Structure 1
Amino acid sequence: MRTLYECESWRYLALSKRPNKKKKTKNGSRPVELFKLHLRNLSDNLKTYKKAITDYLRKIGELIKKMVAIHRSGIDFLEKVLVVITVPAKYLEKDKAIMRECAFTY
């Protein structure tokens, strides 16, 4: 059985309340705040990573569009906004191609 996950929210919106950096949680767990995708040598059963990347980029894009609309009302987003996605320099060309494919899919 294959399970697909979709990003429902991210950043502080994904938390029930703003984190208190001084106070630790009871069980010591923390939500994922930063992550880096490891793309090399994935087995075939992990090939749905492209869906996760695409969902993540889609949510970022939605937030960017929302913030531009709030702070720069009336601007033609597609005409005046250039979105630049950076990747670590140590990514292989294959990994960069995967990110590029996912970015254009979203």
Structure 2
Amino acid sequence: MNWKIGTLKRAVQATFLGLSLVLGLAMTASAQNPYWYDRNRDSLKRHQKEEQRELKYHQRMEREEFGNNKTLKRHQKEEQRELKRHQKHEKRYGDLR
């Protein structure tokens, strides 16, 4: 078979264009898929709720042991802020420390 160079170039260009189109569609489809983008969200939420429960239990035990005075309230408020900061960092960067 005798192929012309122009025909071969067009065939290669069409093949390359088709492959890049398929690859682009596949990447777009995976980017649109929320499970691909946020696949650890449920386990992260579960983990954070567990941390919140543990902190509440810990603080209730502290109140029973030390009473409900001003310094304890300040200490517990700081613990809550620290947990919130930690969870925000976890949510943003996705690492479970």
Same fold (TM over 0.5): no
TM-score by length of structure 1 reads 0.33
* Greater helix content: 2
TM-score by length of structure 2 reads 0.35
Instruction: Point out which structure has higher relative CO (alpha carbons under 8 A, 6+ apart).
Output: 1
Structure ID, larger Rg: 2
